[in-house]
Amino acid sequence: MMKKEKLTIVKVGGAVVEDEAQLTQLLKDFSAIEGRKLLVHGGGRRATKVAEALGVETKMVGGRRITDAKMLEVVTMVYGGLVNKNLVARLQANGVNALGLTGADMDVMRSHKRPLKDGVDFGFVGDVDRADGQMLGKLIGEGVTPIIAPLTHDGQGNILNTNADTMASETAKALAPLYDVTLIFSFEKKGVLSNPDDDKSVIPVITRSDFERYRADGTISGGMLPKIENALHAVEAGVSRVIITLATAIDGNSGTAIVGE
């Protein structure tokens, strides 16, 4: 069997995109990653600012944005335009041949409008149905670095706002048959911590059985549970490893690695 080429997928959140110093560092680190790579970005904070300037009200339910018709216009402009193209231009300046995409471009990611959840209508929000790894693989094989905005489409002409973490996992799963994929979720902590108040308490490796143990004894709780659950699903679907780490440490040498048993 031929050894698969390595591919690193990095997911960067809106908070880093908005912080100039962190963003500059992240783009430098991303440019330094050897071999094939792909970036998935958020941009919620910028969308909220632009919406406010345009007089569009931001409504959230349980930390998730309600995307009505007006907000959909804002997120399409901000994610697919402002944030995405700025990242592309800056990566070009760092020697990366970047190409900005939404899920609608080349039909790389299709979704359906999220049904009512507990009576809440999230509006034009997409739950992913499929990602096209073959299409992305062709681009990557040509030396192109895709920069993916958190927007998908439903095949009926509608753009849908889509969670960036989900887009990163779905992209990683779709590319796993073609590449040896490492998926890196960058966020504000050094990794998964065994003591939330101690930055040095990073758990270096978590397998499915470790996770069940940590969940049962309360070491891992709250918002970290779905993140790791997501990561384990990606590993179980063929992604080699998922790393949860600081936005300033995306070289893959630190943080928490989520791996198969």
Q: Report pLDDT digits (tens) over 84-141.
A: 999 999 999 999 999 999 999 999 999 999 999 888 999 999 999 999 999 999 999 9
CA distance 141 to 107: 18
- Partners of 64 in the β-ladder: 61
Q: 21 and 243 in contact (C-beta within 8 Å)? A: no
Query: What distance in Å separates the CA atoms of residue 101 and residue 257, rounded to the nearest whole number?
Result: 28
Q: Is pLDDT above 70 for 42?
A: yes
Q: Where are the domains of the chain?
A: 12-25+34-162, 180-261
Average pLDDT over the chain reads: 93
- Taking the C-alpha atoms of residue 92 and residue 214, their distance in angstroms, rounded to an integer, is 42
Residue 1's pLDDT is 64
**What confidence category does residue 246 fall into, taking pLDDT thresholds of 50, 70 and 90?**
confident
In 3D, which of 38, 50, 3 has the Cα closest to residue 109? 38
- Whether the CA torsion 98, 175, 26, 253 is positive or negative: it is negative
Confidence of residue 14 (pLDDT cuts 50, 70, 90): confident
Whether 2 has a pLDDT exceeding 80, the answer reads no
Rounded to whole angstroms, how far apart are CA atoms 25 and 90? 12
**For the chain, percent helix, then strand, then coil, each to nearest 5?**
40, 25, 35
Contacts of 56 (CB under 8 A, 6+ apart): 70, 71, 74
**Cα-based angle 202, 167, 157 (whole degrees, multiple of 5):** 165
Residue of higher predicted confidence among 89 and 222: 89
Given this model, what pLDDT does residue 216 score? Answer: 95
Question: CA-CA distance, 208 to 211, in Å (whole number)?
Answer: 5
Which of 65-69, 194-198, 207-211, 256-260 has the weakest average pLDDT?
194-198
Is 51 a residue whose pLDDT tops 80? yes
User: What's the mean pLDDT in 46-74?
Assistant: 93
The DSSP code sequence of 212-230 is HHHHHTTSS-TTHHHHHHH
Q: How confident is the model at residue 61 (pLDDT cuts 50, 70, 90)?
A: confident
Task: Name the pTM for this structure.
Answer: 0.93
- CATH code: domain 12-25+34-162 is 3.40.1160.10
